[in-house]
Amino acid sequence: MIFYFSATGNTLWAAQQLAENIGERLVFIPEAMDGPCHYTLAEGERIGFCFPVHAWRPPVLVRRFIQRLSFANAEGHYCFALCTAGDTTGESMRIFRQILAQRSLHLDAVYSLIMPESYVGLPFMDVDTIDKEREKKNYAKINLACIMQQINECQSVEKEPHVGRWPRINSRLIGEFFERKLVNDKAFRVETNRCVRCGICVEVCPTTDIEGGKGKRPIWKHNGSCLTCFACYHHCPQHAIEFGNQTKKKGQYWYTKNQ
């Protein structure tokens, strides 16, 4: 069983590859949040978690899910986690371990993949060039093949990969600032002259924070659920969604965009 969250498709690709290779079922975390979050495992079934790194931390939605997650019989089942990041992961896995421990779950292995960049919410942040995107994807495919072999063999992997420089500062101080000040939907707006009211932004939002579409202009609910995952921004076919003035003239990305 692999629990996953993805906004622009990086983690979805990794989770799908894993599920197919190791023979596990996929559970999309935003959909699972609508249910009891209680599971019974089959004999030999593994527990996996796949998520993107947000501000050098596991996404808020993923952490909320873990706080509700329970198993009837998790003891003795191999447990792993894989995160995706555009650059470094900081203490994401250390934080994730701590949250899992509160639910009496222990990670046997941790992994990370460096994938194309999708965060565009700051002046110096933009999507990767096509060449850089392809380079990251090719390297990720090689790394994922090794990861799948290790998971199939239920290997123990304790070392946290791609933590980067100053992981504690990035995850604890800067990450905390991000969540308090930048993880919200206040800056999102629609360029009405470009918006065709197709509703794609509503459909791709993992927290149902947007209403409208299908003939109506999209409106953000401002209810505190936004993750600033930028799924709405990246998937808009008219490039009609902006994040304040930070996204002007910036690119869009989703995993299959340039394939």
Query: What's the pTM?
Result: 0.95
165-172 average pLDDT score: 91
Q: Tell me the per-residue pLDDT of 114-158, one tens digit each, with 9 for 90 and over.
A: 999 999 999 999 999 999 999 999 999 999 999 999 999 999 998
C-alpha 17/C-alpha 147 separation (Å) is 11
**In terms of C-beta density within 10 A (0-12 exposed, 13-18 middle, 19 or more buried), how is residue 251 classed?**
middle
Predicted confidence (pLDDT) at residue 170 exceeds the cutoff of 90 = yes
Predicted confidence (pLDDT) at residue 12 exceeds the cutoff of 80 = yes
CA torsion angle for 229, 232, 237, 242 (degrees, to 10)? Answer: -90
Q: Tell me the per-residue pLDDT of 73-119, one tens digit each, with 9 for 90 and over.
A: 999 999 999 999 999 999 999 999 999 999 999 999 999 999 999 99
pLDDT at site 172: 92
Q: Tell me the per-residue pLDDT of 214-257, one tens digit each, with 9 for 90 and over.
A: 899 999 999 999 999 999 999 999 999 999 999 999 999 999 87
pLDDT at site 257: 79
Residue from 18, 32, 109, 24 nearest 66 by CA: 32
pLDDT at site 159: 85
Predicted confidence (pLDDT) at residue 259 exceeds the cutoff of 70 = no
Domains and CATH numbers, the chain: 2-178 (3.40.50.360), 184-243 (3.30.70.20)
Q: In angstroms, how far is the first alpha carbon of the chain from the final one?
A: 28
177-201 average pLDDT score: 95
pLDDT at site 258: 73
Beta-carbon contacts of 181 under 8 Å, excluding residues fewer than 6 positions away, are: none
Q: Are 4 and 12 in contact (CB under 8 A)?
A: yes
